[in-house]
Amino acid sequence: MRAPRLLSFALLLIGAAVVLLPFYWMVSLSFKAPDEIFTPTLDLWPNALRWQNYAAALSRTNLLLYLWNGTVVCAGILVFQLLFAVPCAYALAQRRFRGRTLVFGLILAGLLVPFHVTAIPLFLGLARFGLIDTYAALIVPFIASVFGMFLFRQAFAVMPAALFDAARVDGLSEFQIVWRIAFPLALPAATAFGIFSVVAHWNDLFWPLIATTSPDLATPPRGILYFRDRESGDDVGPLMAAAVLVVAPMVVGFLMAQRAFIRGIAAGGLKG
């Protein structure tokens, strides 16, 4: 039994190294001077830490504004997604109504449709309402999440119906049951969904490039593009420093919530 365990451990270490190597290289480049970056030899760590790259990342472009924009957009999307997904999922899991199976089937079908397919109709609709190049253009297309409905439906489906019946006997309305009983019990699933949602929209470059043109509305991935220089190419040191500053909040947030994330994913797959 010891040999298979050692083999599994070795494979896990190799997999972790492959996944972490790009992040390590990004951090290493963020501290290097230009003459250390463009060399024929491979140096895994700089000779001296060059903090000027981080100063340049914060001064050459308005990186703090881009981080703020990303926070506003991700928070707005997540709040509206929860407001829509939680009641819909509760109804699908705990209420009986005609067409419930069909509605759930449509949600599953919605999981198969890439966002890029609907990008042009969404853009035309937002343009008609004059919402292009606004925060609304970055938030509105994502407020209804079929993945969120599916994940919360799976979490609510394993909760005993007797619990909600007792709440109704005590005089609670369906709205109160959803937000005072069902949602607190599904907090692990909410944490997992929150991580999925925030990471996806924090890293999204496709839609901000289409929906906005003003630098004042740039999200972090789009803001990093302003480090490009048409004549000399990318300024790699500050570019990597900016990338570190953009990635760091996501890494820290996931490490803080990883236990709840794992519980939420496990709970979401218990019942179909």
pLDDT score of 232: 43
Mean pLDDT, the chain, integer: 86
Tokens of 135: 């925060």
197 and 114, same structural domain? Answer: yes
79 and 41, same structural domain? Answer: no
Q: Could you give the maximum distance between any two Cα atoms of the chain, in Å? A: 75
155 and 33, same structural domain? Answer: no
In this prediction, residues 50-74 reach a mean pLDDT of 89
* Orientation of helix 146-157 relative to helix 63-94, angle to 10°: 50
Which tops the pLDDT comparison, 48 or 270?
Answer: 48
Print the domain residue range for 93.
54-268
248 and 228, same structural domain? Answer: yes
Tokens of 17: 């190294």
Distance (Å, rounded) from C-alpha 267 to C-alpha 153?
11
Residue 86 has pLDDT above 90, yes or no: yes
Q: pLDDT digit string (tens) for 183-208?
A: 998 888 898 899 889 999 999 999 99
60 and 44, same structural domain? Answer: no
Residue 40 has pLDDT above 80, yes or no: no
Q: Which residues pair with 234 in a beta bridge?
A: 228
Residue 231 has pLDDT above 50, yes or no: no
pLDDT band at 272 (very low <50, low <70, confident <90, very high): very low
> Among the three residues 14, 31, 50, which one is the final residue of a domain in this structure?
50
143 and 13, same structural domain? Answer: no
82 and 26, same structural domain? Answer: no
Tokens of 249: 């909040």
pLDDT score of 228: 65
In this prediction, residues 37-61 reach a mean pLDDT of 81
pLDDT score of 181: 92
192 and 63, same structural domain? Answer: yes
Q: pLDDT digit string (tens) for 112-159?
A: 888 888 899 999 999 999 999 999 999 999 999 999 999 999 889 888
pLDDT score of 183: 92
Number of domains the chain is built from: 2
pLDDT score of 265: 64
34-43, 94-103, 166-175: the lowest-pLDDT one: 34-43
Distance (Å, rounded) from C-alpha 202 to C-alpha 219?
8
pLDDT band at 179 (very low <50, low <70, confident <90, very high): very high
Residue 160 has pLDDT above 80, yes or no: yes
Distance (Å, rounded) from C-alpha 269 to C-alpha 265?
7
Residue 233 has pLDDT above 80, yes or no: no
pTM value is: 0.84
Report DSSP letters for 192-235, one per residue. Answer: HHHHHHHHHHHS--HHHHHH---GGG--HHHHHGGGEETTTEE-
131 and 39, same structural domain? Answer: no
Given phi > 0 = left and psi -120 to 50 = alpha, else beta, which region is 133?
left
17 and 70, same structural domain? Answer: no
pLDDT score of 47: 80
In this prediction, residues 177-187 reach a mean pLDDT of 91
In this prediction, residues 235-264 reach a mean pLDDT of 81
Q: Which residues contact 263 (CB under 8 A, 6 or more apart)?
A: 188, 191, 192
240 and 105, same structural domain? Answer: yes
pLDDT band at 234 (very low <50, low <70, confident <90, very high): low
> Among the three residues 27, 50, 73, which one is the final residue of a domain in this structure?
50
pLDDT score of 34: 79
227 and 151, same structural domain? Answer: yes
CATH number at residue 245: 1.10.3720.10
